[in-house]
Structure 1
C-alpha cells in the first residue's frame, strides 16, 4: 500500500485517538491500552514500509505519550514521585533530546563570546559584573583567597538565599520560553556570557584553578541545571512555534507541561548546589585538592548521567518490553 493511501485509510482513526488522549473526554487506562494496541500495529506497519516518513514520527509521538499515560496510572505504581524521576522525566528528556543539545550548543557559544569579549576589552568584566563586585574580588585575590566572597554570611542564610535565587532564575528562564524560546535563549545568553567573562577574569590574574576549585564545587550542578532549564524553555517555545499535527493551543500545553516537568526535576539538583555553596564552597581553599576534584567530578557525573545517559537507558528498557521507541 502506498503511504498516501495508508494515511487516508487511517487518518480518521488517528484523529479520534488524538481526541482520546488530549480531548476533554478522558479514557481510563484499560480503554487507552486497547486503543494503544491498534496504534502500535499502525506504527509497526509504517516503520516497515515507510521507515523515513513523517508518519512514523507522528505515530511514534502518539505512542510514547500514550505509554506514559497508561503506565503512570497503573495500580502497581504506588509511588508517584519515584515514577516521576525514574521514568516520566527521562522519557520526556529523551523525546526532546534535540532541545537539550541545542541548549548546550548555545551555552558553549555564549560562554565563548564572554571569554573572547573579556580578552579583548578590559572593561567588559566590570560592565557585566559591576565595579563593586570586581573590586571586591580583586581585593580577595590580593589577600590570597580568590573565592572569599563565598565566606560571607551564615551557612544556612547563604544556602537558603542562593537556592531561592537559583530556583527563581530557572523558572524565569523556562517561562521566557513563551516568546517562542527566544526569551529563554536571551536569559541563557546573559548567564553564559557572565560566566565566560568572569572565568577569564580569574585566568588573566593567574588564579584560574583556585577559582575552579571553589566555584565549580557547587557550579557543576548549578550551571548544568541552568542549561537543562533552558532546554525546558526551548521545548515550551517549540510547542508554540511548531504545533505539527496538533492545534497550536494543544501543542503549547504539551510543550509547557513537558518543559515544566523537566524544570521540576532540576530542583533537587538546585537545592543540592545551594547546600554545597552555603556549606562547602567557603572551605574550598583549605581542602585537599583531591577532595575538591572529587566533589566537582562526582556532582558533574551525577547530573550528567541523569540527563544525558539515563534517558537512553530508560528508552532502551522500553524497547526491550516491545514498546515503540520515543
Structure 2
C-alpha cells in the first residue's frame, strides 16, 4: 500500500484519536486502552513500511500521549493487570471472534471423529491411550471408581505436574500456528481424537455419567482453554498467510502481539483447572451429585462468559461511549 493511500484510509480514525486525547470529552483509561490498541497497530505498520515518513512521527506522538494518559500515575500502572483482562483482551477476542468460531468447529468435528472411530473399532481406545492406561481404567471401573487415577500422587504434586503439562501443550498448540495454522490444527486434532475416544470408552463400559462427574470438574475449563489457545494459533497462522493491506512482516507482528495476549488470558483458567484436578476431582465420587454438577456448570459458565459473551459486552460499551 502506498503511503498516501495508508494515510487517506486511516485519517478519520486518527482524527477521532485526537479528539479522544485532546478534546473536551474525557475518556476513562479503559476506553483509551481500546483506542491505543488500534493506534499502536497503525504505528507498527508505518514503522515497518514507511520508516522515514512523517506519519511515523505523528502516530508515535499520539501513541505516547495516549500511553501517558492511561498510565500517568503509579496507581493506574498497578491497574494494568486488571485493564488487560477487563478491556484489552475482550476487545481483541471480539476483533478475532471468527477464529474462535473456527476453533470450536474444528474441535467439534475432530472430537466426533474420535467418537466415531471408537465406535467402529473396539481397539481404537487402546491405540490412542495405550494398553496400560486402558487396563488400569478397566480395573478402576471394576473397583467402582472409574476416575480413581486422579487419586494417584499428592494434591500438590498432581496440581503442579498437570498444570505444567497443560500450559506447555497450550503454548505448543499456539506457537505451532506459525506453520499457517496447520500445526495448531494438528495438535487440536490429536487432543480431540483422544477426548472423543476416551469419553466413548467410558460410555461403552456403562460408566459415562460417573466419568463426566469426575473428569469435567476440571475438564470444563481445561478443554475450553485448549480451544481458545487453538483459536490464537489460527490467528497467528492467518496473520502470516493473509496480510491484507499490511506487509507480511507487519501483519505477523500484529497477529503475534494480539494472539499471544489471548493465550496469556487462558493461563489463569488453565491454572484453575489444574487446581481443581489436583485438589477436587479426586473427591468427586464421594461428592453429592448436585455439587458435581454445580462445579462443572459454574466453571464452564465462567470461562464461556469471559471468552464468548463478555467481549461483545465490552465492544458494545466501548463503541457507544466512543460515538
Same fold (TM over 0.5): yes
What does residue range 236-251 of structure 1 map to in structure 2 within 5 Å? 236-251=236-251
Question: Per the alignment, do residues 193 and 137 of structure 1 end up closer, same or farther by CA in structure 2, a change over 3 Å counting?
Answer: same
The one-character-per-residue Cα deviations of 1:160-207 (angstroms, maximum 9, x if unpaired) are 100000000000000000100010000000001100000000001100
Q: Please tell me whether the aligned partners of residues 72 and 83 of structure 1 are also in contact (alpha carbons under 8 angstroms).
A: no
Aligned mates of 2:35, 2:87 — CA distance in 1: 17
Aligned mates of 1:38, 1:71 — CA distance in 2: 15
Aligned mates of 2:129, 2:2 — CA distance in 1: 59
Corresponding residue for 1:138?
Answer: 138
Please point out which of 10, 13, 17 is paired with 1:36: 17
SS in 1 for 2:83: helix
1:110 Cα deviation after fit: 0.3
Aligned mates of 1:98, 1:248 — CA distance in 2: 21
* RMSD of aligned alpha carbons: 2.6
What does residue range 119-268 of structure 1 map to in structure 2 within 5 Å? 119-268=119-268
Corresponding residue for 2:276?
Answer: 276
Aligned mates of 1:299, 1:146 — CA distance in 2: 22
Aligned mates of 2:194, 2:102 — CA distance in 1: 19
Please point out which of 9, 13, 17 is paired with 2:7: 13
Aligned mates of 1:166, 1:302 — CA distance in 2: 19
1:313 Cα deviation after fit: 0.4
Aligned mates of 2:187, 2:130 — CA distance in 1: 18
Aligned mates of 1:103, 1:38 — CA distance in 2: 38
1:62 Cα deviation after fit: 9.3
What does residue range 97-112 of structure 1 map to in structure 2 within 5 Å? 97-112=97-112
Corresponding residue for 2:309?
Answer: 309
Corresponding residue for 1:66?
Answer: 39
1:66 Cα deviation after fit: 2.1
1:15 Cα deviation after fit: 7.3
SS in 2 for 1:276: helix
Aligned mates of 1:72, 1:108 — CA distance in 2: 44
SS in 2 for 1:244: coil
Corresponding residue for 1:43?
Answer: none
Q: Please tell me whether the aligned partners of residues 218 and 276 of structure 1 are also in contact (alpha carbons under 8 angstroms).
A: yes
Moved more, 257-266 or 211-220: 257-266
Unmatched runs of 5 consecutive residues or more in structure 2: 21-33, 42-62
1:64 Cα deviation after fit: 6.2
The one-character-per-residue Cα deviations of 1:276-310 (angstroms, maximum 9, x if unpaired) are 00000000000000000000000000000000000
Aligned mates of 2:3, 2:272 — CA distance in 1: 53
1:322 Cα deviation after fit: 2.3
1:35 Cα deviation after fit: 6.9
